[in-house]
Amino acid sequence: MLKLYGYFRSSASYRVRIALSMKGLDYEQASIHLAKGRQYTPEFSQVSPQNLVPVLEHDGRRLFQSLAIIGYLDEKFPRPALLPEDSPGRNRVRSLALISACEIHPLNNTRVLAYLTDTLKLTDEQKNAWYRHWVTVGFTALEKRLATEKETGTFCHGDTPGFADITLVPQVANANRYKVDLEPFPVIRRINESCLALEAFKKAMPQNQPDAE
């Protein structure tokens, strides 16, 4: 039995939901309302030492950090594979995924944005400008690679969705939410549309979750 502690709007939770859907795995959802601070309750602190989502429970174990969880799922449930078979392909896909998950997302995480407004006293307008700046920086690099590297296909790597697409789609969703101008990124937009046409990606979308607001 799989149990996912997450939040409908969490990018990291969204990644894991996509991976679970792509693997065709059923799971129970436990909503941790980040906007209301439920991640800091004593009960959830016992589940997640970092007070972060997602956490995935499987076979009596608790698994942390979205990329590590996705790697675990790909090893435990190897079909369909989320990474190419060849080492150069695996390196490429991982490096593309890390642009979204490690170069863009951490700078725009909920707790970072809260620090900007609550502690540094930035206005909402300044916070949103920060958000859009770092998405644009990351997407500029990602677009350049996707547009010029021969391995790009219908999806980030070839014509089968995988690990890089799993990290890209939630980041595009957040960019749309914060009104980032995506006009300069036609390949990213095309790949995102190709992903969202698939049932596994549709099922994982924030608006399709039980805790969506």
| Structural domain boundaries in the chain | 2-80, 87-200
Q: What is the pLDDT of residues 153-162, one digit of tens each?
A: 999 999 999 9
Nearest partner of 204 among 35, 13, 55, judged by Cα: 13
Which pLDDT band, with edges at 50, 70 and 90, does 67 fall under? very high
Identical fold between 2-80 and 87-200: no
Architecture of domain 2-80: 3-Layer(aba) Sandwich (3.40)
Q: Read off the amino acid at residue 105.
A: H
Burial class (CB in 10 A: 0-12, 13-18, 19+), 169: buried
Q: Which CATH number fits domain 87-200: 3.40.190.10, 2.60.120.10, 1.20.1050.10, 1.20.1260.10?
A: 1.20.1050.10
Q: What is the mean pLDDT of residues 45-60?
A: 97
Give pLDDT, residue 106. Answer: 93
H/E element, 83: none
Question: For residues 37 and 60, what is the distance between their CA atoms, to the nearest angstrom?
Answer: 26
Q: What is the pLDDT of residues 6-44, one digit of tens each?
A: 999 999 999 999 999 999 999 999 999 999 999 999 999
Give pLDDT, residue 122. Answer: 97
What is the reported pTM? Answer: 0.96
Residue in the structure block whose two tokens are 């307008």? 125
Tokens of 150: 């021969």
